[in-house]
């Protein structure tokens, strides 16, 4: 029987700041961080992961984007072969690998939210199982899998988005990030899941300027590279913002537009003057060009990490020779054309206004 991690709104960490080294000013580690980090480290030491992840060689690429490049050769060599993806709305296939087939030792815990009103476990249609990622990108790399037995394809739901945002709020460490790759956006497994991991380097997305679209729904456009949308929420509005994000991703799925999401502690929109404030969560949504077939193993597969400014490299040569201009050129290849993005911005704004 997996360990249960029961939490409520009272467990959200609201007052988080960072210093210039991206370290939280809070002295104590949260209960959530302890559960993730201790469980993940235990599995690594027991050999559950495919390789032992040490301190990854890391460098910040010169330039205004502040890209964080990391060398992770073993992930490129030893990760599971990605599935062939042919459609953003591809059906779940029980014959392919899915998270019901994992080694039970990979399970860290099950997340269950407590009802704040009735002081009992809330009745939910599914639970969220937290697994170690056996081919980790970084320290603590785990997978959030909403009710694996439900066999949901890789299509975001409101509850999955809400669980992702809440996991960031449960962490007192601003280095904890959560992300999602849709089908056609370099998702490797067609079974609903989000990624979570720790990256102790600041990313531009945490404080990037924004332009308001519907601020009453937490909806903005990023003013900077790469072009995308941004939602922002603090602990009191998680459910409403998760619902708005879900309406956006549902719209993208219906329009057959692939997309990546990235959730991280960040400063409030339009308050970028205080760039060290981290009391809320920024959720970036990047619509992008679809990539179908078997996931290519190129130098830089542009997915949730790369769009957020975290660049995992599979070989030392590419890692050492990478430049900001080359990375921008590579990422730009996967983004929508400017006119297409502006048209989508207009459509999504109108769509959310009608709700």
pLDDT of 121 reads 52
pLDDT of 77 reads 74
User: What integer is the mean pLDDT of 212-228?
Assistant: 95
Superfamily of domain 15-353 in the CATH hierarchy: ATP adenylyltransferase (3.30.428.70)
* pLDDT tops 90 at residue 322: yes
pLDDT of 301 reads 87
Residue 271 confidence class, pLDDT cut points 50, 70, 90 = low
Give the closest residue to 178 by CA, choosing from 105, 245, 100: 245
Bridge partners, 120 (sequence order): 115
Give the closest residue to 81 by CA, choosing from 168, 189, 194: 189
pLDDT of 297 reads 59
CB 217 within 8 A of CB 352: yes
CB 9 within 8 A of CB 116: yes
User: What integer is the mean pLDDT of 17-39?
Assistant: 80
* Greatest mean pLDDT among 20-29, 71-80, 165-174, 263-272: 165-174
Residue 74 confidence class, pLDDT cut points 50, 70, 90 = confident
In DSSP notation, 290-343 reads: ---EEPP--S---SHHHHHTEEEESSHHHHHH--HHHHHHHHHTTBPPHHHHHH
Report domain extents, the chain.
15-353
| Separation of alpha carbons 184 and 276, rounded Å | 35
Catalytic residue among 141, 191, 193, 259: 193
pLDDT of 125 reads 44
pLDDT of 128 reads 96
Pairing status of strand 194-198 against strand 142-146: antiparallel
**From the centroid of its chain, how far is CA 105?**
23
* pLDDT tops 80 at residue 296: no
| Separation of alpha carbons 113 and 124, rounded Å | 9
Residue with tokens 């296939």: 93
CA–CA–CA angle 47, 52, 55 (5° rounding): 150
pLDDT of 252 reads 98
* pLDDT tops 80 at residue 287: yes
Higher pLDDT, 226 or 293: 226
Please, what is the average pLDDT of the chain? 91
Q: Residue 121 CB: number of other CB atoms within 10 A?
A: 13
User: What integer is the mean pLDDT of 220-228?
Assistant: 96
User: What integer is the mean pLDDT of 307-319?
Assistant: 95
Known catalytic residue at 195? no
């Amino acid at each position: 029987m997996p360990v249960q991690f029961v939490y409520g709104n009272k467990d959200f960490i609201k007052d988080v700041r960072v210093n210039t080294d991206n370290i939280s000013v809070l002295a104590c580690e949260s209960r959530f961080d302890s559960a993730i980090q201790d469980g993940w480290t235990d599995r690594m030491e027991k050999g559950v992961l495919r390789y032992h992840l040490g301190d990854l060689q890391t460098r910040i690429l010169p330039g205004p984007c502040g890209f964080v490049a990391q060398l992770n050769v073993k992930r490129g060599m030893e990760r599971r072969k990605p599935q062939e993806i042919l459609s953003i709305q591809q059906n779940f296939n029980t014959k392919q690998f899915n998270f019901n087939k994992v080694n039970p030792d990979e399970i860290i815990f099950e997340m269950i939210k407590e009802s704040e009103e009735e002081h009992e476990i809330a009745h939910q249609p599914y639970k969220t199982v937290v697994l170690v990622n056996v081919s980790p990108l970084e320290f603590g790399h785990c997978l959030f899998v909403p009710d694996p037995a439900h066999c949901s394809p890789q299509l975001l739901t409101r509850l999955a988005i809400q669980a992702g945002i809440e996991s960031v709020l449960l962490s007192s460490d601003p280095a904890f990030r959560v992300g999602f790759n849709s089908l056609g956006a370099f998702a490797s497994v067609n079974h609903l899941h989000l990624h979570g991991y720790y990256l102790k380097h600041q990313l531009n997305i945490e404080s990037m300027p924004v332009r308001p679209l519907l601020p009453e729904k937490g909806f903005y456009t990023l003013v900077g590279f790469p072009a995308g949308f941004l939602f922002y929420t603090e602990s009191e509005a998680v459910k409403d913002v998760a619902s708005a994000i879900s309406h956006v991703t549902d719209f993208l799925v219906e329009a057959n537009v692939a997309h990546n999401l990235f959730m991280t502690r960040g400063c409030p929109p339009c308050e970028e003057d205080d760039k060290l404030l981290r009391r809320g969560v920024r959720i970036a949504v990047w619509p992008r060009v679809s990539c179908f077939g078997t996931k290519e193993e190129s130098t830089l597969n542009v997915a949730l990490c790369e769009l957020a400014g975290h660049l995992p490299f599979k070989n030392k040569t590419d890692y050492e020779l990478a430049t900001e201009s080359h990375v921008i050129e590579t990422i730009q290849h996967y983004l929508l054309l400017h006119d297409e993005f502006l048209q989508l911005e207009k459509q999504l704004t109108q769509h959310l206004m009608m709700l």
